[in-house]
Structure 1
Amino acid sequence: MNAHTREPFHIRILKGLLGIIWSIDWPLMVIVLILSAWGFVALYSAGYSFPWRIDGQIRNLAAAGAAMMLFATMPLKWTRNLAVPAYIVGLVLLVATLLFGVNTKGATRWLDIGVIRIQPSEIMKLATPLLIAWYFQIRLTAQEGVLKWWDYLVAFVMLALPVALILKQPDLGTSILVLASGFAVIFFAGLSWKFLLLLISGVLVALPIVWNSLYDYQRQRVLTLLDPSSDPLGAGFHTLQAIIAIGSGGMTGKGWMNGTQAHLDFIPERTSDFLFAVFSEEFGFFGDICLLGLYTLLIMRALYIASVANTVFERLLACAIATIFLIYSFVNMGMVSGILPVVGVPLPFMSYGGTALLILGICCGLLMKISAQRRIKVSLYGDDYRS
């Protein structure tokens, strides 16, 4: 029997608690807690007539918090081992969604598995960059730190599969997020600028094909972006009402629970995709500045964690998570403000959502674990806390 097993039970419990505390990246935790709390306050106002949404968000936040702490304390080697299974399961679920999914408002994005409904595309926001980061780590180890052109080609194939399946649902917003998170890994792995310029040129040339492949409602959203007033009661309704709400908030806002646009039911999807409009109306320009500051700090913290990561896998994964935070917040606030088309992207840590919040919680947990790798005293906590 070794010395560790002879330790008193209360000492082992104390070490376990200290390990959990050491696993928490407190700057990141504080930012996430403030965003979640402020988001719940705004959602409470937006969903005062939907009490089940408020109760549901409490459960969603609890599940996200539990997932965050689980991945913050789980060895990173377990996360790496989950890369391939998570990606394969995600692809299978995406195919199952297309075949057996629940059709809502003309889109098939949800899969009913009996007990709950899940949105498999949300899983791929993390599973895709996780797999690509794992693949690059394997290839760099096998090729003495050098990636070949075919390694990038394989990575692009890994990225294209889930994006294509998500576009078939159709879900343009989530496909953009998956594309951005996966491409971030490829870019930060050392993608050549020449190849990047060639890729951008190819995308520009393919724009007419992409435009023709869009669904009618997606093209209408893009056209409405240029002039929302051209269809004020149709495609432009969401954007116009959101802009009115943001503008009516002024500098300091109308005050909590006093937003007329939300409480008079002018803002659609006000507890989810358009929660930012409710927030802006009630907390005003100063509130928006504070919110932007929090998201900036969140992204900067993720990038800092990436900069001090121990391995290529950790660095690429942290960069992908930072990109997820950036695209989430930028696209949501951009579409609500009328500078981007409406694509159905929630505001991170604030909008109502189950699967999306769970994935965001896992992302934060992974960032905390990556950060903790440089801080945890292995001599005190043992090899169980190594990646």
Structure 2
Amino acid sequence: MTKANGAPLVVFESVDKVYDGMTKVVDDLNLRIEQGEFLTLLGPSGSGKTTTLMMLAGFEAPTKGNILFDGAPLNNVPTYKRDFGIVFQNYALFPHMTVAENLAFPLRMRRIGKSDIEARVQRTLSMVKLDALKDRMPTQLSGGQQQRVALARALVFEPRMVLMDEPLGALDKQLREHMQLEIKRLHEELGIAMLYVTHDQSEALTMSDRIAVFDEGRIQQIGPPRDVYARPQTTFVASFMGENNRLDGTVNATQGRDVSVQMNANGPPIRAMQAGDAVQAGETVTLMVRPESIRISHADGADNSFDGRIEEVVYHGDHVRLGIAVDGVGTLVARHPVSEAGTEFTPGDTVPVSWSAQQMHAFAGSSPSNPSNGD
């Protein structure tokens, strides 16, 4: 839940960032970050998300436009005077200092008294559950422990905001998922604003109050995780936020947001819901439906219900991934939970498939290529 309270904490006003006088990596960015919210910038490599964070931190300067912090211009304020804690993927710990000394460093730079430094360091180490490791050197810590120290150092001087750039990228999957929950816990406990950069969709969905999906220097969509995932406004967002089946067809008719689409001359009509720009009869559209939305049954009240032939079965532990050919429609991928009855599937089997129009989105134009979800 966004913790907005009055004026936003950060505002980007028509911000551009151009490199070499030609390459525009951030293009007319207008963005508000609310007091106390956890906002994630999500996108593929080169989409502008890290550059946006670096401009806010002061490591890069906008080519055009303004950045405001608490209503005051930030463009000409040096990095060390901005009240931000910053966490990077490589931790950036001082190798010659103990854990406690690493945390004390930003306090000494701010000329905090010795007794206050000791109290703040102890309090912050307790917060990240590293009390017992305060006298260790960074080389004596695991990757997850080093990341906790880096996070604690960003919090110890009680900043107004914390900026994090791919902070969990170097951790293994299990530890990364654990740290996601720890960071979310700290955010809820402290109530300070956090700006988080990642290319990991699952990470963004797990942690965020809002997600801003970037591509080619622009925000393609911004909103709560559930809205961005379940109601994408562009084919890029639909493709980048998890797996989607994509089919091209021609609109037969529209009624409000409801559309009827013909896949080919002999195929059955398919019902879907318009997303993004409005479409009209006769126009080409791309239909997208997520694998988990396809039921292996003729579900009661389903808007789309067909028989299909299984072409591929892949076991994934908690679910099986099925490739299913539907005559006149195309090949669909479905995810079927192993916990449900009827999980023994064999290529060549005929199975019922169905999904609702609400779960299938119709976008103007033909199907795009898959966007990268690289670093």
User: Structure 1 length as normaliser, TM-score?
Assistant: 0.23
Higher share of residues assigned helix: 1
The higher radius of gyration belongs to 2
The higher relative CO (CA closer than 8 Å, separation ≥ 6) is in 1
User: Structure 2 length as normaliser, TM-score?
Assistant: 0.24
Higher share of residues assigned strand: 2
